[in-house]
Structures are given as C-alpha cells and as structure tokens.
Amino acid sequence: MNATDSLSGIKNVTISYSVGDAHSWTNMPATLNLSSGFYEGVIQVQQANVIVRYQITVYDNAGNHITEDNGGQYYTYRIIPEYPSTITLTLLMLFIATALTILWRRRFSRKYN
C-alpha cells in the first residue's frame, strides 16, 4: 500500500479483514518496507472458496485517519484452491498409471515376440 502524509507523517497503517459471512473484523498492522517505500501487511491463510473482505486505515501523527473501503463495499477476493478437487488429481494419477502400463506392455511384448 502506498500511504503518505507530507505534514505530520504516517503513524501507522492497519489492514482490517473479515472472512466469509463473519461480522467481526481482524486488524493486522502493516509495516513500511524501506526498500520499496510501500506498506505491507499479511492476511492469514484461509480455507478454499472463502471470500475475504478487507479495508485499509491510515493514521497520521496529528491524530487524523482515513479508511479506504472501496466506497463502503470493501475490497474482496476469493481463495482459490490449489487443485480444483481431489477427484481431478485422482483421475490424473489414474491416467498416468494407465499410460505407463500400456507403454510397459508394448515394450515387453516387442522384446519377447
């Protein structure tokens, strides 16, 4: 995140997030990456197919704050599973095993016929 305040400076940046249909929010502090100049924060790992909503609040040293929440709609993203399903992985493994068996039988039958 890019947060600047040329008058009093940035005191802190907070990422607030909510998971799924939960009405509670978790606050995570963001830290300034000195090499990039951007604030960085981490939202905890979530389960697949869950929607995460988040907003960013910046506080300055003069006591002011601003919350960026996409006009009250929040920013959202959905957690995408690494594999669409275990069935897909199982079918892929079955296909590979079948292909290897066919190749092995062809080589074996050529060698001894």
**What pLDDT shows up at residue 106?**
79
Distance CA(55)–CA(53), nearest Å, equals 7
State pLDDT tens for residues 37-68: 999 998 887 788 889 999 999 999 999 999 99
**What pLDDT shows up at residue 89?**
76
**What pLDDT shows up at residue 11?**
95
pLDDT above 90 (res 12)? yes
**What pLDDT shows up at residue 108?**
72
b/e per residue, 25-48, with b = 16+ CB within 10 A? eeeeebeeeeeeeebebeeeeeee
Domain ranges of the chain: 1-82, 83-113
Q: Please state, in angstroms and as integers, the Cα–Cα distance from residue 54 to each residue in 7, 64, 71, 100, 103, following that order.
A: 27, 20, 12, 48, 52
